[in-house]
Structure 1
Amino acid sequence: MMIACMDGQIARGAVAMGFQPWVPQQENNWEIRVVMLLSLLFQVLLIFLGPMRKRSSSPLLRFAVWSSYLLADWVADLALGLILNSMGVIGGGGSSSPIIFAFWTPFLLLHLGGPDTITSYSLEDNELWLRHLIGLLFELSSVIVIFGCSVRGNPMILATVLIVVVGVIKYCERTYSLYRGSIKGFSNNMPQRDFKPRVSYSSIEARAFDIFRLLQPFFMEMTISTQKLKMVWDIFRDDIKPSKALKMIELELNFVYDIMYTKAAVAHSRAGWVLRFICSGCIVSALAIFFSHDKGGMKRVDVSITFALLLGALALDVAAMAMFLFSDRAAVFLQESRRFKWLGRLTSAERRVWRPRRWSETTSRLNLISDCLGEPQHHSTWRRWLMMAKMRSIAKKLRDLFFIWHKKQLSDPEEEEELPPLLDFIFRGVKDDAVECRSDMRKIWGVCNSRGERVLERLKSGIMNSRDYEWLMRSVKKDDFDEQLLTWHIATDICLLDDGGAEELTKRRRLISETLSEYLLYLLVKQSEMVSAKMGVWLSRYQDTRDHVKKFLANQGLDHDGARRQLQGRLDSVDRRDMSVLFDAIHIADFLMQLPQGPRWELVSGVWKEMLTYTATKCRATTHIRQLNRGGELITLVWLLRENMGAGELQLAKISSGQPG
């Protein structure tokens, strides 16, 4: 095929100086120019949108990343096909394309290699690394065919070869990164058995990176040795401040994200840095060759597109190098290196000025009563009321209509403490659990499986009699966790009629209880895979409970507080057999409302803390990791915090298998 193509060129006698096409340039090749620019555009979008997805839970952003990720490869393949089709003999017809199109072809190979900030959209994409490798053979063969057909009349042979080298490197980098993020690749790159952490640490990033290396098998749901577990606890330290502890957890999850979803496995290796300089050098050389060459035979639009492709490739390379230079992984290397310590100080100063989020730092929330009140009725009065209401009321009703909203609970600028109250509350609770487990390893099973029993046991004296204690204990030991969650969610919502009193601590516990109650209900309904494998059963129970509450509140024109008052103390109006969840919730709320505000919210917040940690521990590691490219979840931080402090599933597995702690 290549020989026939070259013979055709000789027959046409089109060998000339400059950019003279071997056949007259076609006017109908505009689609090639368009798709080349589109391919470059998608690379620009992906390099900047890719890192944003770990910092945002916005569905719109996820859609933008997903569509750009899919269209980038599709457009590059389309452009390659169009160029092949325009190459005269290869296309099976008499038409051909200008030689400049042959120079553009290796840029498509470069684009198929993708930007450094995103290699896979989901974990499942990593498992397709072998298919991606086979794809390289087909793409490269197409580039070679096009290059061979244009070699006799192409004055840009050297520049084309340079871009081919860059394209092959980029494509191989992406394939290797996909392999490293796959189960097989991740498992084959575990730290050696004799891996030992540093004796001392100059940065929190280095401590987090060593813990990440030690816990690598755990992220793939494998067990790790007791010796490595103790190393993790020694690095994390019991006396660590809450703010530093949460930062270390964020760093560890960020290292996991980089390995699973970016080219970090390549970029932060010695070979990776060498390849970066080779690629940049090749692009600069190709740019210099094109800049110095006579372009008299080219259309102005083709000159502009070629410069855009060259400068775009160089800019993307520089941007990727800058992003990785200021990354957490680079900070570990630079701050531990003697030769580049000055650069480490520079990047540290930059991070102190500008601190990008490592996850969304938001909690999505769902309220059952808001859901019931917010569903539109099948009559026009709802729309008429919306039109007449004030803007504030419209916003509130719309919030209730969609009933799930993102509320910035974790970064209140008015809080002057090291950590927002919610995170501080969770950290101290997990730390208490870890201390209890260290003092008696036999308690680890109870700590990991408690859903409110431990706080009830601790607070039972003085605030409840034995009968109330036994009845409440049954409510947190239900066989079905979803039933317990729904029951306590409704009970907590009814108790919110009380403003929490004057004490600051009580008000905080009240707010924490409300946040965790609505957050866990959101996980149950919208992220059911994080709570249980029985998604259908859980959703069915939620829908049944919602229907019962909606039926109970029907046709009364109530707002949220009015609905709470309507539910409070109405046990006589609820059928226990048909509405068991609602009946138990009202019963619990009635008991809680009789308690003093301090003990009440201490009890409720403690129950929700135990339900949160129970859910975090029972969720699979791979399910947690899947959330990292969607902005992350608070429950994932709780999960890894427990493992770091020795109060999680890893320690439970050691005790269950009979290994010493």
Structure 2
Amino acid sequence: MVFSISENVMKLWDAWNVRAFVILSFLAQVFLTLLAPLRKRLGGIWGKCVYMLIWLVYLLADWIAGLTVGFILSNQLKSPANSGDIQTFWAPFLLLHLGGPDTITSYALEDNEFWIRHFLGLILQVGSTLYVFLMSLPDNKLWLPTLLVLIAGIIKYAERNRSFYLASFDHFGENWVSGEKVAGLHIPEQFKKLEAADLVPSRLEDDAEPSEFFVDSEPDSILQAAAYLFGTIRGPLLGSFLSESQRFTGSAIFGSKEKNCYAKDALLKMEIQLSLLYEALHTKLPVMVSKAGCVSRILNLSCVLGALFSFSLVKKHYELEEFDAWLTYGLLIGALTLDFISIILLVFSDWFVIANFHNLGRLRNLGSILKARRWSNKVPQLNFITYSVKDHPNWLKSLATFLPLRNLLEAMKVIRCLSFQNFGEDSQYWQGIFKDLEVIQQDVIKNKYPEADVGNFAQSLLDLHIVTELSIQRGIQGSSLGRGEEDRTICKLISDYMFYLMMREPVMMSAVSSNWEKVLKDTYEETQSILDRSSVSNENDASSKILSAKFEKGENLKMLSTVEESFLTAINNKATIPWKGLRKEWVQKMCYAARRCRPSVHAQQPSKGGQLLTFIWLCMTNFTMAYQRSPYNY
């Protein structure tokens, strides 16, 4: 039996396929223009849902635009009289859409590496659209607005390809040395302003006080400092090293004159660094802020305005269906509106503010710019004991194995256990982490920091994670007064975060998680054998059962094998434990994982809402420049 489509359906398809796809293409541009900038600020479960939706629309946008040009060309070849000049006029709009919104060029770093493929796509799409236009001549009454939009579309598409080219790692790394031009952002002029303001000395006297040469906490100083630091981190991102002079200069830039603001200013500078990195890799901002970019944008807007004006004149003498007329006006006005929205977003971007600092700085109203949120400010939290308690029933696991849907069931379980902790420059977490980071990084550089054994890292991390949770569930206080509660909170944050990374971010932890699956499986099965003996409804009960199996029943558990017996005894007896030392141990493990994560993986994180581990890596990178002249010893 052959399935046949009715003649009425075919007629409806032929009449509306181009119109429907043109509308879909435009709606995709609206969606990406408005929601793509939220990528670097999205967090939580709903943030991940929006992130996946952006990915889907990003993939469909190019496919819809290219397919619609094919429909128009097919209609012209089948029945030129019926296709009309109006469809020919719509073809350049699809080229304009293929140029994409200014707020997103690439979804992932891999898109930038295929800039040659995108360049070939530019040639093919421009050729197809030009062929559609030439086929409509010489009888095309809308030739002038069509030509103007065609020019605007070529400019837009060329800007996107230029952005791909600049963001590819081969070209992003050209002339990476600090003080040179960085993809349209002129670092030298900005750095000279720092020198002119006596923020950076031309030379350092041996007996000089280091704190005299650190930048202050004013908004203009922080913005310029972040711009310079952005130029320096491109080397470590590409596997290069900094000279000693660059390290010293970085110390003056990354530091702060005021001790109380040192940690806060450091985090803010890193947020701006990562924001600039996101804008350089995933948007058209580096192209738009250049002189050539300004000229192309003015030319683009002029062409679209000219097309709107000429179409309104020609329409009076041209028979056109009312729906097609309104759709065409919507495309023209929509293109102008999206461009103006992009310009507004550009003006409030870090890249534009720094590139035009000599003009905007006079306004002395940069404080509000620093308050903008540049990442999700959320740290994912996943706990092993919670993960063990909230297990699925055996019948559901058997059903999932039979279908098979074990991966889906596992993902649902993780979502049930997953939570997010707010994190920011004013939070109680960063101050303590930053102090330990500075001390640890100095020890690393002086070769006083013992490297962990990669083979035992997964086991020791999971054991330390369980120990931290057991201590918290038992309500154990710290041995030091005053900061004990704060240290315990920081330990809880890092512990649950590191377990989340091992479970859900294997790319970031691949260098230190070689035997993670086996360690997790053995520990999970052992935990379930303990918890299945009785009804356990919460984490506190589970913690008591684990300690009971260890001490009261004297079982030889595989879990906690790397933990000292005296430490476990203190937990079981609810004795005080040194939370400050435990905090430093957690920060050490986080530093170890951050240093072994590939820089290219860190570079991907700003487009995914950001990761605390990336901030740790960036902080250590900046400290590498600053270790010789650190003004404060904690």
Q: Under TM normalisation by the shorter chain, which class is it?
A: 0.7 to 0.9
Relative to structure 1, the CA distance from residue 401 to residue 431 in structure 2 (aligned partners, 3 Å threshold; closer, same or farther) is closer
SS of the residue corresponding to residue 447 of structure 2 reads helix
Q: What is the CA-CA distance between 1:425 and the residue it aligns to?
A: 0.9
Relative to structure 1, the CA distance from residue 94 to residue 117 in structure 2 (aligned partners, 3 Å threshold; closer, same or farther) is closer
Count residues with an aligned counterpart: 561
CA distance in 1, matches of 2:152, 2:575: 67
**8 Å CA contact retained: 2:488, 2:583:** yes
State the match for 2:542 in structure 1. Answer: 563
Q: Does 1:505 align with 2:483?
A: yes
State the match for 2:421 in structure 1. Answer: 408
SS of the residue corresponding to residue 255 of structure 1 reads helix
CA distance in 2, matches of 1:647, 1:616: 17
Relative to structure 1, the CA distance from residue 61 to residue 597 in structure 2 (aligned partners, 3 Å threshold; closer, same or farther) is farther
Q: Does 1:86 align with 2:75?
A: yes
Letter in 2 for 1:365: Q
| Per-residue Cα deviation, 1:12-58 (whole angstroms, up to 9, x for no partner) | xxxxxxxxxxxxx9993211001001000001111122111111132
The equivalent position to 1:182 in structure 2, one of 168, 184, 199, is 168
State the match for 1:618 in structure 2. Answer: 596
Gaps of 5+ in 1: 1-24, 381-397, 412-417, 452-476, 652-661
For residues 91-490 of structure 1, the aligned pairs below 5 Å read 91=78, 96-191=82-177, 197-198=191-192, 199=195, 200=197, 202-237=220-255, 239=257, 241=261, 242-295=263-316, 296-337=318-359, 341=361, 345=364, 348=366, 351=369, 355-378=371-394, 402-411=415-424, 419-434=426-441, 436=442, 443-447=445-449, 449-450=450-451, 479-490=455-466
SS of the residue corresponding to residue 359 of structure 1 reads coil
**8 Å CA contact retained: 1:367, 1:403:** no
Letter in 2 for 1:593: I
CA distance in 2, matches of 1:569, 1:590: 12
Runs of 4+ aligned structure 1 residues displaced above 6 Å come to: 192-195, 398-401, 594-598
SS of the residue corresponding to residue 96 of structure 2 reads helix
Relative to structure 1, the CA distance from residue 350 to residue 150 in structure 2 (aligned partners, 3 Å threshold; closer, same or farther) is farther
Q: Kindly, what percent of the aligned residue pairs are identical?
A: 28
Q: TM-score, normalised by structure 1?
A: 0.79
CA distance in 1, matches of 2:476, 2:99: 57
CA distance in 1, matches of 2:458, 2:176: 37
- Greater shift, 65-74 or 363-372, is seen at 363-372
Q: What is the CA-CA distance between 1:497 and the residue it aligns to?
A: 2.6
Q: What is the CA-CA distance between 1:580 and the residue it aligns to?
A: 2.4
Relative to structure 1, the CA distance from residue 600 to residue 292 in structure 2 (aligned partners, 3 Å threshold; closer, same or farther) is same
SS of the residue corresponding to residue 418 of structure 2 reads strand
Q: What is the CA-CA distance between 1:244 and the residue it aligns to?
A: 1.3
Q: Does 1:30 align with 2:16?
A: yes
Q: TM-score, normalised by structure 2?
A: 0.82
CA distance in 2, matches of 1:361, 1:591: 37
| Per-residue Cα deviation, 1:267-320 (whole angstroms, up to 9, x for no partner) | 121211221111112111111112233345100110111011111110111011
State the match for 1:72 in structure 2. Answer: 61
Letter in 2 for 1:66: W
**8 Å CA contact retained: 1:107, 1:309:** yes
Relative to structure 1, the CA distance from residue 372 to residue 159 in structure 2 (aligned partners, 3 Å threshold; closer, same or farther) is same
For residues 14-53 of structure 1, the aligned pairs below 5 Å read 28-53=14-39
Q: Does 1:638 align with 2:624?
A: no
Letter in 1 for 2:423: L
Gaps of 5+ in 2: 1-10, 181-186, 200-219, 397-410, 629-634
**8 Å CA contact retained: 2:40, 2:374:** yes
| Per-residue Cα deviation, 1:313-361 (whole angstroms, up to 9, x for no partner) | 1011101111111111111133323xx555x546x36537xx4321111
**8 Å CA contact retained: 1:489, 1:517:** yes
- Greater shift, 54-63 or 130-139, is seen at 54-63
CA distance in 2, matches of 1:494, 1:26: 67
**8 Å CA contact retained: 1:29, 1:97:** no
| Per-residue Cα deviation, 1:434-473 (whole angstroms, up to 9, x for no partner) | 5x45xxxx853334x556xxxxxxxxxxxxxxxxxxxxxx
Relative to structure 1, the CA distance from residue 507 to residue 210 in structure 2 (aligned partners, 3 Å threshold; closer, same or farther) is same
| Per-residue Cα deviation, 1:88-130 (whole angstroms, up to 9, x for no partner) | xx34x67640101111111111111111111111111111100
RMSD of the TM alignment (CA)?
A: 2.8
SS of the residue corresponding to residue 381 of structure 2 reads strand
Relative to structure 1, the CA distance from residue 642 to residue 588 in structure 2 (aligned partners, 3 Å threshold; closer, same or farther) is farther
SS of the residue corresponding to residue 54 of structure 1 reads helix
**8 Å CA contact retained: 1:39, 1:108:** yes
**8 Å CA contact retained: 1:39, 1:75:** yes
Relative to structure 1, the CA distance from residue 216 to residue 276 in structure 2 (aligned partners, 3 Å threshold; closer, same or farther) is same
CA distance in 1, matches of 2:35, 2:133: 33
State the match for 1:529 in structure 2. Answer: 507
CA distance in 2, matches of 1:310, 1:359: 34
Letter in 1 for 2:418: W
Letter in 1 for 2:509: V
Letter in 1 for 2:446: I
State the match for 2:520 in structure 1. Answer: 542
CA distance in 2, matches of 1:647, 1:480: 31
SS of the residue corresponding to residue 363 of structure 1 reads strand
Q: What is the CA-CA distance between 1:616 and the residue it aligns to?
A: 1.5
**8 Å CA contact retained: 1:450, 1:610:** no
Relative to structure 1, the CA distance from residue 422 to residue 341 in structure 2 (aligned partners, 3 Å threshold; closer, same or farther) is closer
